[in-house]
Structure 1
Amino acid sequence: MNPPQSRLPNGFTVRLNRRTRFAGAGRELIGGSPTRVLYLSEAASKMIEGRTAVVTSTGTGLLVDRLLQAAMADPVLESLTEVDTDSVTVVVPVFGRPHALARLLKSIGQAYRVIVVDDCSPDPAAISAVVHEHAAELVCLPRNAGPAQARNEGLRRVTTPYVAFADSDVVVAPNTISLLLKHFNDQRVALVGPRIYGLDNGIGMNWIERYEEARSSLDLGKHPAPVRPRSPVSWLPGAFLVGRVDALGDGFRDGSRVGEDVDLVWRLAQEGWRVRFEPEARVWHEHRQSLGEWLSRKAFYGTSAHPLSLQHPEAVAPAVFAPWSAAVMAVLLCQRSWSLPVAGVICAGAAWRISRKLSRSSRPNRIAISLTLRAVMGSLTQVMALLVRHWWPVAVGGSLVSGRLRRALVLSCVADAAWEYCRTRPQLDPLRFALARRIDDLAYGTGVWLGAVKGRSARCLLPDIRRNPN
């Protein structure tokens, strides 16, 4: 189903996000995903006061819709009306772990209809006892089909406008569902996800759990964001999601056991729906505690890259470069005396070409230089990620015979760990954080390579170089 034409209600308020800035005496907005310059008429510029815009008329509605679509602004939850909690049904896929299921159902409470789908658990009687104790509904599958199909079985039984998918190993805050439902004031929103924290089981966290608390694959950060391919937040974890039933259609891809959440988000985005990440809503996830289980799970996540590359070849590339930024990275990796001057010349040429496209701007050269530097920093980050994560087998092998590659690899390892440590401020010493960061990337990269070898395709390992990279 395609999304309806956006009709934002009066009072719907958005705030420009941290990546968006003004230029040209308030008549130009720079930001979004992909980064762009949005030119405002005098009337439109006056609709934005204190970095916020409120829907009060057709004109303000169109502006707010455009800001949302450009990923320049995020909804202000306080401005959105409550959605009736009777309009949502909770679907819980479960395979074993009756104690975790009981903990989840207790956190959800009795305010919602809950459907538990038992994916052929080893002890179905234990699951049944927990379900009946919490007055939920039970659906039993005849064979283990995986979480995607289990969620779909529950979705087929949902009669409400909205559905919440909750994995059994999470705990939900009392206001999580009601906060997420507010986003459906925007009729083009199909799916919303909360921020996912690590669950403290009361006996303290070991070093793996403390690393996951700071740098979990499931924690998408503290800032609200639109979710779409090739944006800062490009997917939502299936651990907890709230969706519009009409938009979801048949739900997750049947038979998929990994990456089904990414696939759903990307399909909705391709159809024109909006997907949102809302960090004010909170869920706690029981992270893996042992090193073996943790690394196995990271590698398992990595294996999703190959099937996703078949379903979404335009979105799954591990890095995306413009031709000029790829050339800059190649020149810098050569580490010759001429590398910096040549890279500077290429960047100057790119800035000049960008400035030619900004003829309407009041200061095209300044904006072009800023956009060029931002692109270079983003490319450097992607190259480091390739060396330490997706391409590590090649990088390690090549570093045995190439001093230049060895220096690039060591620098990437140190710089990446130092940056993430300063950014996340973990409750973990720098040495163990750096160690966890590196083996996290090694495990995920190993999974990517295993999937590529099994699928006999290197597509999920190849960067995308295009003139319009986003």
Structure 2
Amino acid sequence: MMTYRFAAQVTLIEQNDGAVILKQIPLCVLRVNQACARLLKAVRDGGPVANIPENSVLFDQLVSRGFLEQVQTVPEAPQRYPFVSVIIPVRDRENELGRCLGSLSALDYPTERLEVIVVDDGSRDNSAGYAKKWGAKVVTSGAEGAGPAAARNCGAAAAKGEILAFIDSDCTASKEWLRQLVPFFDDSTLAAVGGKVAGISQASALDRYEDVMSSLCLGEHPRLAGKGADTFYLPSCNLLVKKDAFLDLNGFAPTMQVGEDVDLCWRMRDNGRRIAYMPGGTVFHQHRNQLGAFMSRRFFYGTSEEVLQRLHPNRKKQMVVPPLLAGLLLVFLSIPWTGFAGVLLAGIMIVMESRGLKNKTKKMGVNLGLFQLMRARLRTLVSLWYYLSFHLVRYYLIMMIVIAILQPLFIPVLLLMLGCAVMVDFRVKKVQLPFLSFLFFYILEQISYGLGVFRGCVKGMNFRSYVVELRRHMAEPV
């Protein structure tokens, strides 16, 4: 179901006592022992690799460091189709629900192995009636506006399926949704699988922005994750979960109004279960394409950070800031004020650090050129500046704007940070928008999300969302 391959510009250098993995961009060298070297050689040569938990953990670690890539292979149709219960929470969305149920009626999945459950969360319209017309089983949440988490739990309690497939009422499913995702559960280590979330419409500029920049969009590359302190999760609008794993964890936290999918996925992973994202099995989501609704939603998402930080204190925000690189970055940023002296000092620091790295890599059996190492350091500086800029823009943009108004000397710093974050995201995400339109929506998003984070922290009297754990080193970086 999932195979691995070497990432672009990664090579394996075999040695007597093991091997060294060399990644060119960003430049990174990692020494591995003989057992690991044998596995990596099999991956490189396309040979068989035993599908055992120990190998999966190793490969997942190498994927997280950028040495390997996961490759999704389209599974064959299973000999036995597991029974699937599709669960849809709804409140006052009869039109959207009808569209969702219409898409489910066209699923390419055996109807005798499928049930659709609509959980009415106190609707005042005819949502329940629409559901019955489409042949869905209708249950109630037992309240008026209990929230999607509590409603989904009610649906799970009434479900007969061994797999629970969650989708939202403002979504439609692709014909292949279940057929493409369900077979991945042949991997007994997986507790949950999520597919791609795309936008229903591409009509407006905001539709196109949301299609790529929404937090529901996880990209085009598959990903597997087990235990770990990272923040990877699967959105609940396209989430398939083994029922026994769901019930073992008591389902979604019923009192959470936002972030309940993040919390569930993190609890799964903390309990030793693995989750996977596969960019197939697409669900189409009706994104908020009016400015007010767009900003309100981002604000709402931001309020979840305080609760999630309180429930999962082990998942701290982390940022690797090596002291030498931080000092070099400061020298580069000071060049507009220091002029030629700053350029000269930066050049000397780059050369000296690169020579030190050249000696270090040579001892590991890798001979790299000085100019190659200098280019690698400059790329690393740009990456470091982006991550610092993105974090500051995400959480402190309003504060930085106020500082710039009160102290105009800070304006160049603000423009450098915002410009770096915007330019990198615009280029990487490949949004089909003019740059100025992207910039406009980007700034509104960061302001809205930042205000939501602040509101959540004030409400919970807990400001750990703003705390970043600075680390000096990554694993064997150069």
TM-score calculated relative to the size of structure 2: 0.81
Which whole-Å CA distance do the structure 2 matches of 1:354 and 1:158 have between them? 60
2: CA distance between counterparts of 1:53 and 1:187? 22
Q: Could you tell me how far apart the structure 1 residues matched to 2:376 and 2:266 are?
A: 27
| Aligned-CA RMSD value | 3.6
Give the corresponding residue for 1:16.
Answer: 5
Please give the alpha-carbon distance, in whole angstroms, between the structure 1 residues aligned to 2:454 and 2:347. Answer: 31
Please give the per-residue CA displacement for 1:262-319, whole angstroms capped at 9, x wherever unaligned.
11222222222222111122111001121111110011111111111111223242x5
User: CA–CA distance in 2 between the matches of 1:130 and 1:355?
Assistant: 71
| CA–CA separation in structure 1 for the residues paired with 2:89 and 2:362 | 51
Residue number in structure 1 paired with 2:132: 132
Distance 1:461 1:281 in 2: 35
Q: How far 1:251 moved relative to its partner?
A: 1.4
The alignment partner of 1:105 has SS state of: helix
Q: How does 1:207-218 map to 2 (within 5 A)?
A: 207-218=205-216
Q: What residue is the counterpart of 1:308 in the other structure? A: 308
Map Cα deviations across residues 122-161 of structure 1 (whole Å, 9 max, x no partner).
22xx122122112211111221211111111222233433
Give the C-alpha shift of residue 117 in structure 1: 1.1
Q: Letter of the aligned partner of 1:192 in structure 2?
A: V
- The 2-side partners of 1:140 and 1:197 are apart by 29
Residue type at the aligned position of 2:320: F
Q: 1:449 aligns with which of 454, 473, 478?
A: 454
Q: Match of 2:274?
A: 274
Cα deviation per residue 1:155-203 (whole Å; 9 max; x = unaligned)?
A: 2233433211111111111112222223222222222211111112xxx
Distance 1:344 1:179, change over 3 A: farther
- Closer/same/farther in 2, CA of residues 354 and 267 from structure 1, 3 Å limit: farther
Question: Is structure 2 residue 30 aligned with structure 1 residue 37?
Answer: yes
- Given the superposition, is the C-alpha separation of residues 91 and 209 from structure 1 closer, same or farther in structure 2, using an over 3 Å criterion? same
Deviation of 1:408 after TM superposition, in Å, equals 2.0
Q: Distance in 1 between matches of 2:373 and 2:217?
A: 33
Cα deviation, residue 108, structure 1 = 1.5
Pick from 87, 102, 114 the counterpart of residue 116 of structure 2.
114
| 2:422 maps to which of 395, 417, 430 | 417
Q: Which has the larger radius of gyration?
A: 2
Do the aligned partners of residues 353 and 418 (structure 1) sit closer, same or farther apart at CA in structure 2, a change above 3 Å counting? closer
Q: 1:93 aligns with which of 89, 95, 105?
A: 89
Q: Which runs of 5+ in 2 are unaligned?
A: 106-110
- Aligned-partner Cα distance in 1 for 2:348–2:138: 64
- Shift of the 190–75 alpha-carbon distance from structure 1 to 2, 3 Å rule, reads farther
In structure 2, relative to structure 1, the CA distance for the partners of 1:277 and 1:422 (3 Å cut) is: same
Q: Secondary structure at the match of 1:416?
A: helix
- 2:153 corresponds to which letter in structure 1? N
- The residue that corresponds to 1:408 in the other structure is 413
Aligned length: 448
Q: CA separation in 2, counterparts of 1:262 and 1:310?
A: 13
Q: Structure 1 residues 217, 63: CA separation in 2 closer, same or farther (over 3 Å shift)?
A: closer
Structure 1 residues 295 and 82, CA gap change in structure 2 (3 angstroms) = same
Does residue 104 of structure 2 align to residue 78 of structure 1?
no
Task: Please give the per-residue CA displacement for 1:98-121, whole angstroms capped at 9, x wherever unaligned.
Answer: 111111112112462111111111
- Residue equivalent to 1:66: 58
Q: Percentage identity across aligned positions?
A: 26
| Counterpart residue number, 1:150 | 151
- Rounded Cα–Cα distance in structure 2 between residues aligned with 1:430 and 1:327: 32
Q: Distance in 2 between matches of 1:360 and 1:315?
A: 33
8 Å contact 1:387–1:409 — kept in the other structure? Answer: no
- Give the drift of 1:84: 4.2
Q: CA deviation at 1:393?
A: 2.1
Cα deviation for residue 239 of structure 1 reads 1.4
Give me the whole-angstrom Cα distance separating, in 1, the residues matched to 2:94 and 2:282: 22
CA distance in 2, matches of 1:289, 1:49: 45
Assess, with a 3 A threshold, how the Cα gap between structure 1 residues 107 and 16 changes in structure 2: closer, same or farther.
same
Separation of aligned partners in 2, 1:443 and 1:420 = 18
Moved more, 169-178 or 363-372: 363-372
Which residue pairs with 1:48 in the alignment? 43
Per the alignment, residue 253 of structure 1 pairs with 253
User: Take 2:386 and 2:378, find their aligned partners in 1: how far apart are those partners?
Assistant: 12
| Residues 69-113 of structure 1: CA deviation (Å, up to 9, x unaligned) | 543332432356637443321111111101111111121124621
The match for 2:203 is 205
Decide whether the 8 Å contact of 1:80 with 1:182 is kept in 2.
yes
Task: Specify whether residues 20 and 53 from structure 1 end up closer, same or farther in structure 2 by C-alpha distance, changes over 3 A only.
Answer: farther
Q: What is the SS of the residue equivalent to 1:256?
A: coil
Q: What secondary structure does 1:48 align onto?
A: helix
Alignment CA distance shift 1:148-1:20 (3 Å) = farther
| C-alpha contact (below 8 Å) 1:197/1:285 kept by paired residues | yes
CA–CA distance in 2 between the matches of 1:344 and 1:192?
50
Question: Residue 441 of structure 2: which of 436, 443, 452 is its match?
Answer: 436
Structure 2 Cα separation of the partners of residues 234 and 407 of structure 1:
34
TM-score if structure 1 supplies the norm length?
0.83
CA distance 1:394–1:136, change in 2 (3 Å): same
Moved more, 105-114 or 397-406: 397-406
Q: Secondary structure at 1:287's aligned position in 2? A: coil
